[in-house]
Chain A
């Protein structure tokens, strides 16, 4: 039974460059349900982090249009007071870099205790400490009593990320946003953290937005996946469908450019051209058009819409119907050296 938890309606988050605003998240609509991990995947500059920060209200100098409906609030237009009541309580966030996400001059216990205190000021200090120790144990810190009094620099990256997670889940949030939670971590630590989030998800009943560029992480964690390119969602589907039957040219190209053990690729697929910068994002027509120039202009929609291909599987633009990988790689001529 799906229960909607968060709904983005035509969200547009714009940043000012010079005298003009440029949308980094451009007209994004999606829902996150309870008990669900929605992965938002894309390359740097696609707007996925800007989207996460918009939901959390952490942008200080951005223009936010549209609606972010969460419980009875519209986070896009909520007052600072409302946001402060929700953040840390109903909305938790896990940040990318555990090395910088913690205050270097505060002991771990106080950093976790702060988020508990902020949303429950009547709790006695002793009970608060008890709760912090429970949380440290819950996120798999071996000696909670000891770690309670430690400073961040005394902990390894993996341990720090556990502390960051403890802060995010301290008040049992209904929505958890994880912004590249394992990118800065070593492989074995990464899998431990992912397993931890999976385990926590089971007893939290929260909705999770997982922001990542790593398709492997998506395949391991997500229930549904939204693929972003140039500020827009280009494809959204449940995880089995997306990996089993990816449709949008960008999704397909992305999947083909990762080294894959199953396929013995001699060469990885390369997406032509470069990700356009915020200022130079194509704002009209299919935004991916320039990167698949071998497709005929007529393959694209003039004003690309999301099409529901099968229930719950949406793809932007009609170009997916005509897309094929270039048959033969153009032989690049090398000369000069040797």
Chain B
């Protein structure tokens, strides 16, 4: 049994139009997405803006209304956030993209980190303070930080505060939505390393959402590539990077800048070739609405969105 199971998830947002503002159509932000995450692993959700990757993450944690589909966490159906038990909300936490705006600037670090504790656990002031200090120490900030405000920290430190808040309730699953996109490379390295460390230490499972394939490759065991609300390909990190099958995945992989300047020409030609292939074979990979087909297995771990044969 999978730790987290997402079955045919759909999140549609209505488009209002006409004179009376009726719903005339839907934006199918997420349109039939299924995947499973195993305990202790990191699942990467990749896609460009508008692909629905963030909406998927938010829907799992209950921040977006789910149109259809099912989410099963440790065997329990948690699709309807109103019916889910508190312990689910304790067990699943989120890390947001922008450490500059996701922390309330008017609150002290103590109050920020203690917020989930206050919501879910009854603690005395002293216990709470002690716990927050432990958490800060765990994310590598000095315990004295509790009386400071977010603006007194650097971007990386702020993201650590965000992480401290996310792990305060000892969650089992963390949904990390572009956790390092707003950070400089050296700070990014710090946060990524740290996320891996606490994963080992606390046995965490991650749903790691990012547009940066380099970061995804570094962090993830399994990857799902999204395009316009659907999966185009899913597989292990090796499947995706060593033998991408879908033309969109190939294009994404080819677009990663190569850090070796000697391969520049080769890489550019390769990119050009993939672009041509993309243009030529577009209709083999997308239906007449430009959407991906449903996933077909090409190996036991590797799935590609292809038209059904026969």
Which A residues are closer than 8 A to B by beta carbons?
43-44, 157, 186-191, 194-195, 198, 213-220, 222, 239-240, 243-244, 253-255, 257-262, 265, 267-271, 274-275, 332, 334-338
The answer to whether B264 and A274 touch across the interface, beta carbons within 8 angstroms, is no
Residues in B neighbouring A261, C-beta threshold 8 A:
214, 217, 241, 256
User: Which secondary structure characterizes the binding site on chain B?
Assistant: helix
Residues in B neighbouring A213, C-beta threshold 8 A:
184-185
Residues in B neighbouring A187, C-beta threshold 8 A:
48, 211-213, 252, 255-256
Task: From the candidates B137, B187, B255, B259, name the one contacting A191 in the complex (CB within 8 A).
Answer: B255
Interchain CA distance A267-B195 in the complex, whole Å? 11
Residues in B neighbouring A198, C-beta threshold 8 A:
268
Which B residues are closer than 8 A to A by beta carbons?
48-49, 131, 134-135, 137-138, 140, 154, 156-157, 167, 170, 184-190, 192-193, 196-197, 201-202, 211-215, 217-218, 241, 251-252, 254-262, 264, 267-268, 271-272
Q: Taking the nearest CB of chain B, how far is it from the CB of A97, in angstroms?
A: 13
The answer to whether A259 and B192 touch across the interface, beta carbons within 8 angstroms, is yes
Task: From the candidates A220, A265, A338, name the one contacting B257 in the complex (CB within 8 A).
Answer: A220
Interchain CA distance A44-B251 in the complex, whole Å? 29
Number of A-B contacts (CB under 8 A): 133
Interchain CA distance A334-B138 in the complex, whole Å? 6
Residues in A neighbouring B192, C-beta threshold 8 A:
259, 268
Interchain CA distance A260-B185 in the complex, whole Å? 12
Task: From the candidates B49, B156, B202, name the one contacting A157 in the complex (CB within 8 A).
Answer: B49
Q: Taking the nearest CB of chain A, how far is it from the CB of B102, in angstroms?
A: 18
Q: Taking the nearest CB of chain A, how far is it from the CB of B50, in angstroms?
A: 9
Residues in A neighbouring B186, C-beta threshold 8 A:
43, 253-254, 257, 270-271, 275
Q: Taking the nearest CB of chain B, how far is it from the CB of A79, in angstroms?
A: 37
Residues in B neighbouring A188, C-beta threshold 8 A:
48, 251-252, 255
The answer to whether B267 and A220 touch across the interface, beta carbons within 8 angstroms, is yes
The answer to whether B138 and A336 touch across the interface, beta carbons within 8 angstroms, is yes
Task: From the candidates A186, A194, A216, A270, name the one contacting B189 in the complex (CB within 8 A).
Answer: A270
Interchain CA distance A163-B140 in the complex, whole Å? 44
Interchain CA distance A231-B157 in the complex, whole Å? 22
Residues in B neighbouring A186, C-beta threshold 8 A:
48-49, 211
Residues in B neighbouring A336, C-beta threshold 8 A:
131, 134-135, 137-138
Residues in B neighbouring A194, C-beta threshold 8 A:
257
Residues in A neighbouring B255, C-beta threshold 8 A:
187-188, 190-191
Residues in B neighbouring A267, C-beta threshold 8 A:
193, 196
Given A187-B211, A267-B196, A337-B138, A219 and B218 contact (CB-CB distance below 8 Å): no
Interchain CA distance A270-B134 in the complex, whole Å? 23
Chain A minimum-CB-distance residue to B248: A188
